[in-house]
A and B are shown apart, each in its own frame.
Chain A
Amino acid sequence: MFYELLLAVFSVLIYPGLLFLVVVGLLTQWYVRKLIGRLQNRIGPKYVGPLGILQPFADVIKLVFVKEELSFRGRLDRLLILFMVLGLSAISSAMLFTPISPYVIRGAYDVIAFIYLMLWSTIAFAVIGLSLSNPFTVVGSSRFLTQILFAEPALVTSLLAAVMVLTRDSPIPLSIYSSAVSLRADVLVAMVLAISFISFFLATIAKTLIKPFDIPEAETELAGGLLAELSGPALGLAIILHYSEIAFLTLIATIVFLGGPYPFNYGDFLGIVVFAVKYLVLLTLIAVIKASVGRIRIEQATSMMIKYVLSTSVVALAIATIL
């Protein structure tokens, strides 16, 4: 019992929880920045660490320890910090549902608890904008809520469709763990996974404010939008939350939709290599999209969400239910 408790605490705080997500999130930031730099004929991060790999860490350390945090009357400081911390800890806890965790939380219908934990970071970003009492941040938050009104249901529906189709023969139905370990060569399963993956991936891009869906933080019109008023340690925490969320959703896409280390097993050396390659392929796709498209307007984003992303995920869920 004591050993199990210790393992649970280790899993949520170190691996694959908090520390792991923060480190992977910042490395993800480096990879995306470097790749976009190369795509745009720039060098990208260079000075800190080999190939500039430690640049995101240096940026966050500078924000936390060196930079000044400015505050003003009417700002809800504690509320926004509380929600950012809750968002970060919720995705850390959600990582325990996956097979890469030493302490696995699994059971029938655990996908519902997983989705609940996944929503916290979205709420955190909405609260950041609303608690700063600045027109730019509030408009950013309003745009974020509008965008997320269609992106979040698409994300949840596509995840549900994939988990449903993967666990249809499993003794533990609708479980993230079972869906991650029960991928097999089946044409129908592959079809549903492909459709729901497209929807999940596009919804991830919209949820994590990557171009062309960076409307809530549009620098040129909203001066940074949601994050306009943040500085010092609070901005550092917001950056950590943002990139940890990108890393978390990309890891979930790799584990559930791409089969994780498939055709190898979790824990094998080759399995780890295959897993890392799949993760990097997804990040490369994100970087290429980010580097090659411009920002669209909010109503274009929402109609695109309804027409292509939400409808695709509903189709995937319908097929998964029929199967």
Chain B
Amino acid sequence: MDVLSLAVIASSLMLLAALLTYLSYMVVRKGSRTGNLSEPYLCGESVNDFKDSMSVGSTNLYWGSTSSNLKKFYSILRDEIHTGVLNDWFFYMGMWFVLAVILSFIVVSLGG
């Protein structure tokens, strides 16, 4: 079996299992009791603007690694490489792209 047909078969079987599980979950849930839709509250007070206050910014999601493990790496990235100029960002990303193209040329020319 080649990789493409293998991936298609595995994914379609996965979707079939997902569909059946989702439908059976919905059937089971219909019979069970569901509580009233309640408003979120904090210390007994209702919270109205919860959409902003209850979510954490995407930059804070990896705080464990950015603040301790890879601190040095991130400080170099943030303080020295990042300038806030859009052209610099294009140059930085373009650099990696060119590197990837060169590497792929080398690999293909070596017969890989």
Interface residues of A (CB under 8 A from B): 8-9, 11-13, 17-18, 64-74, 81-82, 85-86, 88-90, 92-94, 96-97, 105-110, 112-113, 116-117, 120, 133-135, 138-139, 141-143, 145-147, 149-150, 231-233, 237, 298-299, 302-303, 306
Question: Assuming the A-B contacts A70-B38, A108-B3, are A145 and B17 also in contact, with contact meaning beta carbons closer than 8 angstroms in the complex?
Answer: no
> Which chain B residues lie closer than 8 Å to A146 at the CB level?
61-65
Query: Are B61 and A141 in contact, with the CB atoms below 8 A?
Result: yes
> A135 CA to B54 CA in the complex, in Å?
6
Interface residues of B (CB under 8 A from A): 1-3, 5-7, 9-11, 13-18, 20-22, 25, 28-29, 31-35, 37-40, 50-51, 54-56, 60-65, 67-69
Query: Are B10 and A113 in contact, with the CB atoms below 8 A?
Result: yes
Query: Are B1 and A106 in contact, with the CB atoms below 8 A?
Result: yes
> A147 CA to B69 CA in the complex, in Å?
11
> Which chain B residues lie closer than 8 Å to A86 at the CB level?
14, 18
> A64 CA to B31 CA in the complex, in Å?
9
Q: How far is the CB of B42 from chain A (nearest CB, A)?
A: 9
- Interface of B, helix, strand, loop or mixed by DSSP: helix
> Which chain A residues lie closer than 8 Å to B34 at the CB level?
68-71, 232
Query: Are B35 and A71 in contact, with the CB atoms below 8 A?
Result: yes
> A58 CA to B31 CA in the complex, in Å?
18
> Which chain B residues lie closer than 8 Å to A299 at the CB level?
64, 67-69
> Which chain A residues lie closer than 8 Å to B40 at the CB level?
72-74, 133
Q: Which of B29, B62, B64 has a CB less than 8 Å from the CB of A233?
A: B29
Question: Assuming the A-B contacts A65-B28, A106-B1, A306-B69, are A72 and B39 also in contact, with contact meaning beta carbons closer than 8 angstroms in the complex?
Answer: yes
> A63 CA to B81 CA in the complex, in Å?
52
Interface hub of B20, B32, B56 (most chain A Cβ within 10 A): B32
> A85 CA to B19 CA in the complex, in Å?
8
- Enumerate 19 A-B pairs (CB-CB under 8 Å) in ascending A order: A8-B9, A13-B17, A67-B33, A68-B33, A71-B35, A72-B37, A72-B39, A89-B18, A94-B10, A105-B6, A106-B6, A142-B60, A143-B64, A145-B61, A146-B64, A150-B65, A233-B25, A302-B69, A306-B69
